[in-house]
Amino acid sequence: MEVNEQTKGGEYKYKKSFIYMNNTLFIILIDILIVTFSFLILAWYKPATVRTVFPTYICPFLVFITIWISVSFITGKYKLLSFKRAIDMILTFSFINFIIVSIITILLFALKTHVYSRIILFGTSFLSYLIEIFIFYIIYSKLHKSNNDKKIIKHKKKIISGHNPLNLN
């Protein structure tokens, strides 16, 4: 958040950035890009990516990303401001990603789909997890810095406009 100006009453007007106002939507879009990027990297590793991997994996990938986003949203993974410390965020992400991989694995075995590569499945999950931790830590730090700056400005405003006991006038 940025401070724009101080009004006559001593209050500050805040210009909220787009990321701060829409952080959940922004984080979901970033997560979709991360998972897609991870999938493409691991699909590129397999031979005949364009001819066999993409046509075979497009529907399962859409199911995978739907489960990924749904579980993440339901469990509160995208509410970065709710984490008090960065380690809490990392532990929560670890647990949520474990749940997602467990659901996908159970579905694969329950539906008896042995056609899909475990390298692509688990590799996409693990690579996405690592990239998420890195990128979401940066976003988490920026959001918390903005939130803390707002608290500091409010505190300074209270000190400036508050009762001054040493004022002898």
Nearest to 133 by CA among 79, 100, 89, 98: 89
Nearest to 141 by CA among 73, 69, 90: 90
pTM value? 0.72
Q: Pick from 9-13, 137-141, 158-162 the range whose average pLDDT is largest.
A: 137-141
Least confident of 7-21, 24-38, 143-157: 7-21
Rounded Cα distance, 68 and 65, in Å:
5
Question: How many residues are given for the chain?
Answer: 169
Average pLDDT, the chain: 79
